[in-house]
Amino acid sequence: MRYNKIALNISVRLMFMLLTLVAGILIWQVGRFYFLLIIPFLLLVLQVVWAIKMLNKINNDFNRFLTSLEVKDNTLYFDADKVPGVYKELYTNLNKATNLYKGYRVEAENLFLLYSNILQNSNQGVIVIKEAALSVDRGQNSDNVLEFINNAACNILQIPKHKYWYRVVDAVPDFAEVISGIKTSGKTLVKVSVGSECKELSVDVNICNVADKRLFIIIFQDIRDEIEQREIDAWQKLIKILTHEIMNSLTPIKTLSETISEIIKEDEPDTEDIDLAVSTINRRADGLMQFVDNYRLIIDMPTPVLKPVKLADVINNVQQLMKPLVADRDITFDMDNQYGFLVLDLDMALIEQVLINLITNSIYATEDVTNAKIKIAVNWISERYTLTVSDNGKGIPQANLDMVFIPFFSTRDGGSGIGLSISRNIMRAHNGSLRAESENGETRMILSF
């Protein structure tokens, strides 16, 4: 290796200097020819001067190399042809290291430009600040400097591209207050007044450590338009169902009332026909009243009374209640309660009602299925506990998966269409969720707590 040759070269020169010194000592001891001492003396001086000069050059060149890395100077170049042969590879490798560093810097800068362009053209607002900015006093100091803010953030908050966080605090205090209150990563919704508008923002805060800095990465977007559109869609679906149900009752009532009017005009009206028509009208009126009562049941959701409840107790109560009905229909009822020890804050009666609704739906879904099965399982998924009621019945068409939670929508003949809607409202009142999945002959209703 070339570096072994450098060590050998230095060793030879040191040996030569030692031999020169020994020669001078011998001449001195002989006591004659003192004038010859000038030769070893000059040789020794020349070797020492050369060694010092070479060491200084290498030391200075290394200092230049390290300084260029520190100041990010990519123009440094060493002429390897102007150094002794044994040092050429050393200087050639220094040039290679400089070029590699230059290549890495160019690559990193290109990636930075790419990511910056992606973030700048995103429709989500992105702001990056130091954690210290949330607690420092107002001022133009390094802790208050915004690490990053994109165009979407400025457009959503209707602010210019500020350099300091405290200016964002002054411009949008509601938004800044929410961010200051967040101690760990997470999502939240916040309503902010921006100019003359009121915006509803979905805010996602992630905390990370970069080098020696703890950064808050704030990603947000205005979801007001999306919420309004979803509300419009929900109202349209609801109105469509309400119209369908009401028209189904009003059409025969109108027809029967016209029939009664015609009968009365006769000379000898048939009271039997009148009684039949009136009784039919009465039945349809009762149906409409029941429909309105169901609607009121959905709106007047009772407030849950939360208490620590062992989830296994809830499941066991429902199992005992539904066991006779399941047994009569020859349905296998399985339990997979691996988290039987779990205690949650629940309204026991309301959660039992949810499970009863779901199991009842599963019973009807497996009416014409051989080897029918209903299973209840508790799991830990995505940092939340889930309770799943599944069956191997006829399933739910994919097009209807989002519809089954709309009030009065039912895929079952004679179904009221309010059970799943009420169940989802109960779960939302518990800060949980209820969703449906149906694939490969299996339907799952998943409660998340």
- If you count them, how many residues does the chain have? 449
Are residues 231 and 212 part of one domain?
no
Q: Tens-of-pLDDT digits for all 449 residues of the chain?
A: 444 555 566 666 677 767 777 766 666 666 665 566 676 667 777 777 777 777 777 777 777 777 777 777 767 777 766 666 656 777 777 778 778 877 777 787 888 888 888 888 888 889 888 887 777 666 666 677 888 888 888 888 888 888 888 888 888 888 888 887 776 667 777 777 776 667 788 888 888 887 778 888 888 888 877 766 666 666 666 666 666 656 666 666 666 677 767 666 665 666 666 676 677 667 666 666 665 665 555 556 667 888 898 888 888 888 877 777 777 778 888 887 677 678 888 888 888 888 888 888 888 888 878 888 888 888 887 778 888 999 888 888 877 777 777 766 666 665 556 678 778 888 888 888 888 888 877 888 888 88
* Burial of residue 418, with CB atoms counted within 10 A of its CB: 0-12 exposed, 13-18 middle, 19 or more buried: buried
What DSSP line would sit under 114-169, residue for residue? HHHHHHHT-SSEEEEEEGGGGTSPSSSSGGGB-SEE-HHHHHHHT----SBHHHHH
Q: pTM score, two decimals?
A: 0.45
From CA 365, how far away is CA 400, in angstroms rounded? 15
> Does one domain contain both 436 and 357?
yes
Choose one of 222, 249, 274: the last residue of a domain. 222
Q: Based on the domain organization, do 320 and 444 belong to the same domain?
A: yes
- pLDDT at 271 (0 to 100): 67
Task: Read off the CATH number of the domain in which 432 is found.
Answer: 3.30.565.10
- The whole domain housing 35 covers 2-112
Is the same domain home to 193 and 215? yes
Distance CA 405, CA 419 (A): 8
pLDDT at 1: 45
As given in the structure block, the two tokens for residue 263 are: 């009968």
Looking at the fold, whether 177 and 105 belong to one and the same domain comes out as no
Is residue 419 assigned to a domain? yes
Number of structural domains found in the chain = 4
Please list, residue by residue across 259-283, b when 16 or more beta carbons sit within 10 angstroms of its beta carbon and e when fewer do: ebeebeeeeeeeeeeeeebeeebee
Same domain, 214 and 269: no
- The answer to whether position 118 is within a domain reads no
